[in-house]
Every structure is written in C-alpha cells, then in structure tokens.
Structure 1
Amino acid sequence: MNSLADFHNHTCLSPCASLELSPKILVNLASQRGVQILALTDHNSALNTPTFEKLCKSEDILPLCGLEVTTVEELHCLCLFESAETALAFGDKIASSLLKIPNRPESWGDQPWVDENDLIMGEVDYWLGAASSYSLTDLGRLCHEFSGLWIPAHIDRPTQSVTSQLGYLPPDEYDALEVRENAGHLEILDLPLVRGSDAHYPENVATRTCRLELEQMSFNAVKDALKRRRVSAF
C-alpha cells in the first residue's frame, strides 16, 4: 500500500513549539490532511508520546513515537520507535545525559506534557533545547539498541544539521536521511530520503511529507520499506 508519511513533528512539550500544538491537535490535523504514518519528535523528550500513541490509534494512523535528539556536536537526529513505552525508556537515557539548565519559560517557552484532552499532566523544569552528551555515532548505536530508526534531521538545513556542524556526513549505519527541499544530489549517498514537516505550529502540520510503499501498516513494515528504498520523498 502507498502511504503518506510525516517523519518530524513537535508538540507543546518542545519549548520552541506553540502551546496550541498539543498531541490532540497534531493528530487531528494530520488525519484531516491525509497523513497515514505520523511521527512525534519533541526535543530530547518523549513524554507526550503515550498520549500521541493513543490518539493516533483512534484515528487509524500509524504512530512513530520518538524524539529529536541534540548530540554533543549540536546537531539534530530523529530517533523513532515502535511504541511510546520504548520511546520513554530511550528518553530516560537522553534525559540523564542532558546538561540540566533550568528552563526559563518567559524566554525559552513552556514545556508541558498533556493528556488526550489537553489537560496538563506535568512540566519539564530543565531546558529541553540543551545538547546531550551523546556523539552522533554513540546516539546511533543507542537508538539501534532500542530497535529504533536513526535518521539525521534536516541535513540540508544551514543550522543544527550534520552538514552544518560537521561539514560532511560521516559514514555510518543511518536508516535514512531527512531532507527539507529537493536534495537530489544526496541520492549519491545511497540512503533513503524522507521528509517531515518539522511542525512547531498547527499550520505547519503535513506541509512536508513523503510516501512509503508498505506491505502492511506497522513499524517493522516502515523499517523494511526504508531498507528496500521503497520511499519517495518528492
């Protein structure tokens, strides 16, 4: 089956995202806009993934529960997992590696996690925009230990990407690369290319997507489609 996917989205938990963009709003908008495979990738935390997972299942959307992790090199990687439970366990590892800078909501934004009715369940009191102590390579190894998908984020962006921070893409076992625009020259890397909206506001949802050819609607089928290059980013 040919399925529409959005690999990169934030919610109100990310300090740089709108408080309006709760998991409920994200999932509802994605459903309205035809997305069938949806990722949640808040900065350095998976605390909104349980609510997200529940809402996705109610809308017959395949959830990719994950995080956008900032490495020690100050670059971003998407780490995606089959379940919220796994994402939370991985998130605990990331949380323990972060420099705990007290959050300043008035400057950096609030960081609440919420339930399916948008009721606040708690708020992270340290800044989620900080870098972890994991290097790019070490993060990839950890992600794969949790059977996740490891995808360097927005590699064609001039800030906080592998290419902006390192100047090149080190050879490694990436599952895919996320691109924002038509980066056809990256095909020489022989890696699948995916796209995500990187939504921080409701109007961003489903603005950048890709298509996967799946045998069935499951996380393992997504992994298989990427491995077999059954993905079209443009």
Structure 2
Amino acid sequence: MYTVDLHAHTRFFHGHRALGDRFDPLGVRLLTAMAARRGLDGVATTNHDYYTAFDSSSGVEPLPGIEITTDRGHVLVVGPNPPEATKPGALSPNEAVALAHDRDCAAIVAHPFRNSSVRELDDVPFDAIEVNGKHPRSRPLVEELAAERDLPLVGGSDAHYPFEVGRAYTVIEADQLTPGAVVDAIRDGRVNARVYRSWHDRLLRRGYRAIHDRKHVIDALEKPTPGVGRPPGED
C-alpha cells in the first residue's frame, strides 16, 4: 500500500521553459521534501505540457508524468514513458489519451469541474477521474461522474508551491511503487482518493475559492451540472 500525490508541479509559474529548466531541479527537491513531511511515498511531477525525469530524493519517489493541455481541458498522463512535450491546445482529449496509452501510461481527467469540458465526452477511454486538492467540495459531483463512467477516483493536490503538496492524494494498492505498477493499479481500480483536512489546508482552500471567484473560473461549486445538486459545504 502506497500514498502518492498524482498531480504536482515543480514550479509555481507557467511557460518560460528555459527558466523552468533551471528551476525544476530545486523545485523537485522542495516538492519531495514536503511530500516526505506529509508522509507520502511518491509524487507525480505533472508539469504543464512537458516532462523531465527526476531522481529520487527525501525518500519520496518522483513518478513520471505530464499535464497535457488539450482543446477541451487538461489530461494528466502518468506512467513509465510520458511524452517529453506537447503543444498546448493542439491535441483533442481522444488524441491525448491515445498518446498516453501508446506510451504505457494512464490517462486521468484533471479537475473535471474547473476550466474543462473534458467531462462531457462519453467516448474517450480515460483510466480515472481526479479529486482535485483545490476543489475538494466538488467531490460529490466527481464521484457521480466517475460512477456514470465506471472509472476509479484518484487524488492529486495540483500543487504549484511546495506547501500545497498532499492536500489530495491517492492510496495505491501495489506490491512496489514503480510507474508501471501505478498504471496497473489505476486501471484495475486498486486506488482510492483521499483529501487532507488540516486547518492549514482548509485555509488554503478558502483562498483558492476567493481567487477563482475573482477570475470567474467555471467551477462546479458555482455552476453545478444540470440535474445535479450543489455539493455540501467543506468541513
């Protein structure tokens, strides 16, 4: 049994690839150090539209991954051989999933109720749906969506700063923590999404709600799916 944050970033800014390449080695050390403090066994480094291999540090395994920006929203790709780079908006969700599967990776719907219409696609063979650490109150909607698609739930913090790591994470039933074993566990449904609920995490989430309200982000909390009730308040 392992605990893994399946959605994290090694930098707090988007773009600026050359600058990021210099920052990422430090970023992953900070990321894994905080994951170790949380008691996690691993963290997937899912940077936006590029993948870099990182060595293990702090006793926490950095798992290969990438967050692909499709023309309908974001798709997390985690596994032994993610693509090195993708062009934002160039791939459809179907193409992103096909690319993931061709490279022996799992394809996960990222934050399905934030800036995404990927959840509306019935014919895309995703492997799992994410409970996102920035929006845990949307979990009832995510659970309903996962049940409709007969897909497992995984958890990821969507951390861009080290202190955000582990706000949501995944419990993985596997004999060893390798990229291939993680993919197999996701596809077999041997995973469970968990949300960390300390006072610090609750304070962070209130801040994110305020930021997203100001940015007019499409969020299930404000615009529920037709026919689906508003999720309960966060504890």
Question: Normalization by structure 1: what TM-score?
Answer: 0.69
Counterpart secondary structure, 1:209: strand
Higher RCO by CA contacts (8 Å cutoff, separation 6 or greater): 1
Q: 1:36 aligns with which of 29, 35, 41?
A: 41
Q: Distance in 2 between matches of 1:64 and 1:3?
A: 13
Unpaired runs of 5+ residues, structure 2, are 195-235
CA 1:194–1:205: 2 relative to 1, 3 Å: same
Residue 67 of structure 1: aligned partner: 66
Counterpart secondary structure, 2:166: coil
Residue 227 of structure 1: aligned partner: 187
Q: Distance in 2 between matches of 1:171 and 1:62?
A: 33
Q: Distance in 1 between matches of 2:174 and 2:193?
A: 15
Q: 1:91 aligns with which of 57, 74, 84?
A: 84
Q: Distance in 2 between matches of 1:14 and 1:44?
A: 13
Superposed CA offset, 1:99-153 (max 9, x none): xxxxxxxxxxxxxxxxxxxxxxxxxxxxxxxx33111101111111111111110
Residue 215 of structure 2: aligned partner: none
Residue 144 of structure 2: aligned partner: 185
Residue 97 of structure 2: aligned partner: 140
User: Considering only aligned residues, what root-mean-square deviation do their CA atoms show, in Å?
Assistant: 2.4
Is the Cα–Cα contact under 8 Å of residues 14 and 43 in structure 1 kept in the other structure? Answer: no
Q: 1:162 aligns with which of 114, 118, 132?
A: 118
Is the Cα–Cα contact under 8 Å of residues 79 and 182 in structure 2 kept in the other structure? Answer: no
Unpaired runs of 5+ residues, structure 1, are 99-130
| Partner AA of 2:74 in structure 1 | H
Q: Distance in 2 between matches of 1:161 and 1:23?
A: 30
Q: Is 1:12 aligned to 2:5, yes or no?
A: no
Aligned-pair identity in percent equals 32
Corresponding pairs, count: 180
Q: Distance in 1 between matches of 2:12 and 2:49?
A: 10
Counterpart secondary structure, 2:33: helix
Question: Normalization by structure 2: what TM-score?
Answer: 0.69
Q: Distance in 1 between matches of 2:108 and 2:66?
A: 11
Residue 128 of structure 2: aligned partner: 176
